Amino acid sequence: MFAQHPVDPYNIARNLPPPEDALFDPAAVPLMVPPDLGGGGGQQGGDGQQADNPDPNDEIEQERRINAARGLLMTYFTDEKKTPGFQFRRFLGQGGYGIAALVADVRNKELPPRLLVVKRGFGGEAVEKSMGREIDCLQCIRGGMHFAQILAFRQRFSTKPIWEIRDLFRNRGRYLNGLPGPTIVTEYVENGTFEDFFDKTREWQEPVPNRILWNILLCGIRACIGMMWPIMAEHKAPTQIETIGPNRPPLMLQHSDIHMKNVVFGELQHGSEEHDLVPAYKLIDFGVARNVAEDNFPPLQPEKGPFWNGRDVAGLVMALIAKVYNWEPRWGAFLDGYIQTDAWDLYIPGAELRYPWLDPDLRELIGRMMAKDEPNRIPIRDCLAMATAAVRDKTADDYPNRREAETDDAILAYIQRAFHDAEQNPAQAPWFVPDARRPAPRPSAAGAVSAAAAGGR
């Protein structure tokens, strides 16, 4: 995917030097893979042959591999002799090619535990390709504020890790050496998925405030920019906001699987111009990402970025507005009478009457980001300018019909309700679902207006 190519000026697939401090000990040999995992382990099996790819339609075989992977992670992280510096907390999710667990790094007793997501693949060549693609992507976008950060990884037949962030604490050589590849370790993002946020806000009668919607759309635009002009930060560099790179051609990296389960929310960043009221969100799961500039028919206007990226991040905001989980492109929605758009819920006849509270500037930007024809889409530079100005300049006074709901205090109260109140269920992020699709919409509970929600209106 990211081999040397004229359209890949950044040499993404480079190998970085191993760090001084690590989760993996470079001198150790990883554990031999249990037979139950077939070709999905860190070493070859007893006969030295790679197992065939599992049939994705073979439910019995898939269940066997899932149970074997769960058993490997559970056993590995509950053995205090092998991993005294790490504690298993819970499984986070599973997909057709792998499983993920929440693990605490407790090697430094003077600091609070650091939560990690350990993604363990199984299934042969297909998963190796998927996880290898994700490793390449995560290295490329490392340092971007709107992406979950990679901390460590191990390829399938590797006897040592290829790369890892250094700022992890070392304690008498206790590492994750026994964990075979393919394995990826990433940061844990604490405030749950976009789906969690959507499910909770859909139960409330009031609309999501415009200023929150603008901020969430800006997060998506920043992520789009980070996939076009990747930061590729150094090992210990802090995350930074994604910006359009001067004098650099865009990369055209397409995520290809942006949906509610693959977006997670972090914490508020006090003093930040963009995230002091609304937390930043981060994209996860790059297992099916690709460089669309390598397609036979690449985009004609690269300054607008890959179509799916812009359309899908705008579609998430439209879902919050319309309170519709499954949005699908349909014919018959037109912006300005002639621009066909996938923002069907916002542009069908009568939509303005259904959402009289909606900022017309926001509605138009979503419609243009989701325009079907490339010439009608807005360049990413203009999307960024419009969303940045809205987040920076718009106040409650810009929404006289809903002023009380758009004040700074109201926004903070809404975020507190959505992410931190006791009624919020713990996040169960499916951190490894490379073949994920949007599930059918789930009906909300009868009369589902919480006491907290009702009290805050």
State the DSSP string of 58-112: -HHHHHHHHHHHHHHHHHHHH-TTT-TTEEEEEEEEE-SSEEEEEEEE---TTSP
What is the rounded CA–CA span in Å between residue 161 and residue 147? 22
> Is the Cβ–Cβ distance between 280 and 219 less than 8 Å?
yes
State the DSSP string of 308-326: HHHHHHHHHHHHHHHT-S-
Point out which residues pair with 94 in neighbouring strands: 99
Phi-psi region of 73 (alpha: psi -120 to 50; beta: other; left: phi over 0): alpha
CA distances from 193 to 113, 262, 282, 327 (A): 22, 7, 9, 18
Q: Roughly how many angstroms between the first and final C-alpha of the chain, as a whole number?
A: 50
Total H helices, total E strands in the chain: 11, 11
What is the rounded CA–CA span in Å between residue 371 and residue 341? 4
> Is the Cβ–Cβ distance between 91 and 70 less than 8 Å?
yes
CA 431 to chain centre: 8
Return the DSSP state at 23: S
What is the rounded CA–CA span in Å between residue 379 and residue 368? 10
Binding residues for ATP: 119
State the DSSP string of 324-346: -S-----S--EETTTEEBS-HHH
Binding residues: 119
CA 20 to chain centre: 28
- 170 C-beta neighbours (distance < 10 Å), count: 16
Tokens of 116: 């990690």
Q: What's the Rg (C-alpha) of the chain? A: 23
Element (DSSP H or E) covering residue 255: none
> Is the Cβ–Cβ distance between 185 and 176 less than 8 Å?
yes
Return the DSSP state at 453: H
Return the DSSP state at 195: H
What is the rounded CA–CA span in Å between residue 410 and residue 395? 12
